[in-house]
Every structure is written in C-alpha cells, then in structure tokens.
Structure 1
C-alpha cells in the first residue's frame, strides 16, 4: 500500500503568515505522513500539525528555540516501507551539497531539508535523493510559495511534485 507524503519547511508561523494556507492544510489532511524540515518559529503550529496529521516527522530549525528545541530533534528519521528518510533543517551552501550530504548521511535514501526557502530536487552519485520543499509562507526571492508531495510505494519514492501556491499577500 502506498504512503502519501507531505513535505514542508520554513513555515515561520506566525512570523510570516498567521497560519498555513488552506491548500497546505488540505494536503495535511490527505497525507499519511507529514515531514517538516524546521523553522516553525512558534510551538502552536507544531501542536496543530501533531493533532491534525496521521504521522509527523519533524526537526527544529535555526529560528526555533525553547520548547520547539526541547520537543524536536536536530535530525528526524523514519523508515517507510524500507525507504530510509532523514529530515534536517540546514545542509550548507548549494555547491557540493550532494557529496557533503551523501557523506553525512550514508545510511539514508532520502534527505528532506529546508533553510534556503528554495525548492530543490537532486540525486547524489550515491543515490541519495535531496528534497527541499521551499516555503509555503515566505517565498523570499522565489516566484511562488511552495510545498512538495510524494508517495512511498514498494520501498521507492515516487510521484515527487512541487506545488506552487497562489500569491495572496505573502512575502
């Protein structure tokens, strides 16, 4: 049976938005597992996602302090149908990222990360898939706010999709 994933990072709620966009909440409701790569900013969103999602796999980011750091790890890990996934906030500069992360996470098949607010989907020579869903609330220099969905089926990551949110007064 396939497992539906929702990938989020850099939500910055309520700093950048009062809440997640309705499209993202709908994706939360559809997902079997929500992966969040940090920069929550406020613990209330963590509480909401824990209550609303079927399974949450999440880490803290550089803008997360206090209770968020107490409750979340720096690196979160999960195995779904044999696919080994790690979730981390920062991976450093983009140049050389694939090689650095393959060396840092030799026992991982998929690395979900955030921090840059820039969507990213590459595969290292080792086979490690690196995914950054961007931000659903703070597009910065990107044309759209974004998030990702994917499916784990028979131990493989499939149907990775980047979703662009409509521009509605977000930064």
Structure 2
C-alpha cells in the first residue's frame, strides 16, 4: 500500500496547482494524508481525484475545512494505526513536534504525522513510533527544497521517506 503524505499546501497563495513531482506520485497512491493548512477546500477536491483523502484542519484553514476535518485523526491502514494532527496551538514553551506528540499521549501508534512547521522530520521515538512531518510541497520557507512524504505498508511494516525537489511547478 502506498500513502502520499502532505501538509501545508497553502494553496492558492503558495501555488496555483499541485506540483508536478507530487502529481506524479499521486497517480498510483492508495491513500493520501493531508496534515492541515490546505487553505482551500479545492485542494481536497484536487487530491481526491487520485485516491481517498484523509486529513485534519490547520491554523490557516477556514470554517469550510474545519467543518469537514477534525483537529486530529486516527487512521488504520494495513493493521497499523497512524495519528494525524497539524501541530498548532502549542503553548509558548512547547514546540510543534512536542504538541503533535502530546495530541496522542497514551495512544499506541505506528506513526504520528504532523505539519505546521514546514520542516521535514523522519525519526522514531523511544517507543518505536515513527514521527513524521512531510514538510511542504509548495512553501519550503527556510528549507532548501520542497517536500512531501511516501509511506509504504507491506506485510504489516511501515516504511517512510521524503521526496524533495527544487521546482514547485
């Protein structure tokens, strides 16, 4: 199973359409996870033309998106549980990743996906949970490249990687 993982698309402000690198990976996706800051519901429509889309609301999303998606989502693919949250709303002393982890405190998960920071992250916490931020396919901010993620689930095992590129067209 192939799952494309995105966050922080900020469309149409940061891009009028999904980048070609992302569209190429969506063609054979079994599912898509969006970790918030869509900014337009049309992003959902564009993504859903490829595969089923699951997601959460981000701090830059309006009431139309907030009425469709929750603040956090628990998903199950291939027997693996994946928590999704945008990661905003943290107290000043808590960073985005800590906020995302706190959103699923006490949950047994294979992975936690979050966005908000636009900083790609791929690591495992001490319990073995994958902690993943796909970065942004359209708004790299202070990152050298645009990015999104690919999860592959095979025989109950989750593999994750980032795809990066310099041109968001």
TM-score, normalised relative to structure 2: 0.88
1:87 aligns with 2:97: no
Listed as ranges, the gaps of 5+ residues in structure 2 are none
Deviations 1:7-65 (A, max 9, x none): 10000010111111011112111211111100000111112212x13221111101001
Q: Deviations along 1:66-101, whole A, 9 cap, x unmatched? A: 110001111122111110011110065449839944
How many residues were matched structurally?
165
Instruction: Give 3-state SS (helix, strand or coil) of 1:23's partner.
Output: helix
> Contact 1:136–1:145 (CA<8 Å) still a contact in 2?
yes
Contact 1:60 1:72 survives alignment (8 Å) = yes
**Contact 2:137–2:168 at 8 Å: present in 1 too?**
no
Could you give the per-residue CA deviations for residues 127-164 of structure 1, whole angstroms, max 9, x where no partner exists? 21110000000010000010111201111102x22111
Q: Which residue of 2 is the match for residue 126 of structure 1?
A: 127
The residue number in structure 2 matching 1:66 is: 63
Structure 1: 5+ residue stretches without partners: none
Distance apart, 1:105 and its partner CA: 5.0
CA separation of 1:156 and 1:37: change in aligned 2, threshold 3 A? same
1:96-135 map, 5 Å:
97=98, 100-101=101-102, 104=105, 106-135=107-136
Cα distance in 1 between the residues matched to 2:87 and 2:78:
26
Contact 1:98 1:124 survives alignment (8 Å): no
RMSD after superposition:
2.2
TM superposition score normalised by structure 1:
0.87
Q: Which residue of 30, 33, 51 maps to 1:32?
A: 30
